[in-house]
Amino acid sequence: YQRRVRAFHSSQMVHFGKTLEKERIARYAAEYIEYRVLKKQLKLISQRRRPGQPIPPDDESEIQFMRMFESELEKVNAFVSSKMKEFLNALANLQRRIHMSKESPDSLESETDGLGQEFVLLHKFIIHNATGFSKIAKKHDKKTGLASRPWLEARLSYGESFILFKFDTLIVGISDVYSRIRKLRETLKKQKDGTSGQDEGVWVPPQSFERKTTKYWVEPENLLAVKIMIVKQLPVLIFGRKDEGKPPGLESGTSEFKVGDSSPITSIYLDNANLDLYHKRIIREEGAQLIRLRWYGQYSEAKSPSQVFVERKTHHESWVENESVKERFPIKWKNVWPYLNSNWNPEEKIRKKVANGEMKETEAEGILTLSAEVQKKISEMKLIPLVRTVYNRSAFQLASTNAVRISIDTDLLMMNEVTSKPVGKWILEAKDIPSNEKVNFRQGILEIKLQDTPPEWINQLLDTGFLTEVTKFSKFLNGCCQLHPEQVKIVPHWHTPESIPYSALI
């Protein structure tokens, strides 16, 4: 919510009221917050206020303002709720019509394009109104002398508030619609050509392949538009989902979409007090390594993930025969702490799997070698958990090929892991880490991976101006800079000077 507000109105030189009048969506004008009316009421309150004293909370003008604020909030809430239901019904209707195969794919696609643009407009409406309510709450305290802003802003995040509505299920829904349109178009083409109706099959990762990776930042207000452009070409990739094209609620008669377009990923990066791994990575030293622990899904002391991946990324320069590589192996959560302290290794478990025929000998040797090398590196360099990153990842890829793969990471939170912990614990719950040891990253991080020449739609996506290329962006490097600035000798090229203490730049 705060990111949306800052993104919409970054310039302090233009009055918000004028900006709102200029950028408001004409069709939705009657549903907007009555910003000028609320400002007028605040002016009336300030005129009734005695010099040097706050307005009494039971003053008639103050009571009237609170009623107006609540009424405006309920109006916007009701409108956004009705639009969300309208969109869900429209998606379910499109799914059913595609399933019946009685309309042309081009016609259905054009209608879906229009629906996607309606999503973008509502998203813009939400940002406008969230900004308006926040600014009115701030002006209220300034004009009245009261300290009601925290309560007013808390009211915006309570119950059925419009700012709590998320578009992730709508993204999955429209992705499914585009997927079924592609399948319908392919089926009709095969029928026309008289060719076999068999599918191409599901993509299976090859043993090795080369991909060019480019990273971009996307401002929060543009994320939805970017995702909609992507899902027209690539479906949302949701691991474990059997059929993304199945019409939601087709049998049950409902139009609810239960699946979101992103899932949480947590990584804990290891380094020592001198940030040796950081400095080797930032100068791209040949053979520079990054070591991290990674898991998927939420974490809490009550319910920890079943397994954690120990990962090692090794950088190789272009003049070296070997390519940069990422290697990893899984261990159970309970074994992480003893592994980090060289009191446990996976050899017994791995040998047992080989004996039972669950793993090939070559695979087992690879894991044991990697495990031993990482454990030795941790011990010799005195590596400890240093930076934690938590974010939600959306992935987009066709089921039949990985020629084009896109991921978008949002809601990135970076935390300092070098905090006091009870003996025997290597991690704290996020809520137990002090707020001054946490940093939010407001932009979305989009990564495009290509095996070949980019298709035309990728060029069109880049031409929108929504993507800002950030060469070799790294969450690890960024987190170290912001959470351990005193040890940083070289800052990444994307880092703004004002976010780094002067001592870190010399």
**Catalytic-residue membership of 475:** yes
Burial 77-112 (b: 16+ CB within 10 A, else e): bebbeebbeebbebbbebbebbeeeeeebeebbebb
Cα separation of 217 and 471, whole Å? 10
Query: Contact 376/338 with Cβ under 8 angstroms?
Result: no
Report how far apart, in Å, the C-alpha atoms of 39 and of each of 44, 48, 138, 379, 487 are. 9, 15, 11, 62, 48
* Active-site entry in 124, 215, 227, 475: 475
End-to-end CA distance of the chain: 36
Can you count the helices (H) and strands (E) in the chain?
A: 14, 10
Judged on CB neighbours under 10 Å (0-12, 13-18, 19+), 463 is exposed
Report how far apart, in Å, the C-alpha atoms of 383 and of each of 60, 275, 308, 386 are. 63, 9, 18, 8
**Which tokens belong to 454?**
């980019």
Query: Contact 280/256 with Cβ under 8 angstroms?
Result: no
Report how far apart, in Å, the C-alpha atoms of 113 and of each of 120, 367, 376, 384 are. 11, 47, 54, 49
Taken in order 469, 474, 475, 477, the sign of the CA dihedral is negative
Residues catalogued as catalytic: 475
